[in-house]
Amino acid sequence: MKIELTKGDITKIKADAIVNAANSSLLGGGGVDGAIHRAGGPQILEECKEIRNRQGKCKTGEAVETTAGNLSAKYVIHTVGPIWNNDEEKCSKLLANCYKNSLKLAESLDVKTIVFPNISTGVYRFPKELAAKIAIEEIRNFESKIVEKVIFVCFDEENEEIYKKLLDSN
C-alpha cells in the first residue's frame, strides 16, 4: 500500500473511506468526530444509532462502518481509540487494533483509498510520537490486495512533524 501524508481537515480529503476517531457510544463528540458529523450531515448519526441498537456500544479498538452522508467518501469507518492511562502496553495494543480493524473492514468494503486521522492524540491524550509509530507500523505491516493507498491526515503541526520524520527515516 502506498502511504501519503497531508495536513488539514479530514472532511476535505478525497478517499473511499474516512476513518473517524469516535467514542464507544458512537453518538458523536468533539474533535474529528464532531467535524465528520457536521460535514457529513445527520444520516451518519442515524446509521450509528442503528448500529447501537443492533449490536450495542463499539468496544475500544474495534471498527464499524456507515455511509458518508454529504461527504465525498463512500464510507465512514468509526473506530474507538484508547484513552491514554499510562498503561503503555495495553493502550498501544488497543491503538494498533484500531488501525488493523479499520483496514480489515475497509478491505471487506472493497475500499481502495482510506484516510486516517491521528487517532487518540486529541482529547484521549495518547502520546503523539508513540501513536504515530504504532500507526505507521500497523499500516506497513498490513498486506492488502485491495487497499491501494493510505493517507495520514494531521491536523496539528506537531503531529505533522512527527509523521514526516518517521516516514522519512526509512
Q: Catalytic residue positions?
A: 33
Q: What span, in angstroms and rounded, lies between the C-alpha atoms of 129 and 157?
A: 13
The answer to the question of residue 116 lying near ligand AR6 (CB under 6 A) is no
**Interface with ligand AR6 by CB under 6 A: which range of 104-112, 115-123, 141-149, 162-170?**
115-123
Continuous segment of H or E residues that includes residue 116: strand 113-116
The answer to the question of residue 79 lying near ligand AR6 (CB under 6 A) is no
The answer to the question of residue 48 lying near ligand AR6 (CB under 6 A) is no
Residue closer to ligand AR6 by CB (options 69, 117) is 117
The answer to the question of residue 124 lying near ligand AR6 (CB under 6 A) is yes
Sign of the torsion formed by the C-alpha atoms of 104, 105, 111 and 117: negative
141-163: burial string, b at 16+ Cβ within 10 Å, e else: ebebeebeebbbbbbeeebbebb
The β-bridge relationship of strands 63-67 and 2-7 is unpaired
Total binding residues toward ligand AR6, as defined by CB under 6 A: 25
The answer to the question of residue 136 lying near ligand AR6 (CB under 6 A) is no
Q: Write out the residues near ligand AR6 by the rule CB under 6 A.
A: 9-11, 21-23, 29-33, 35, 81, 117-124, 153, 155-156, 159
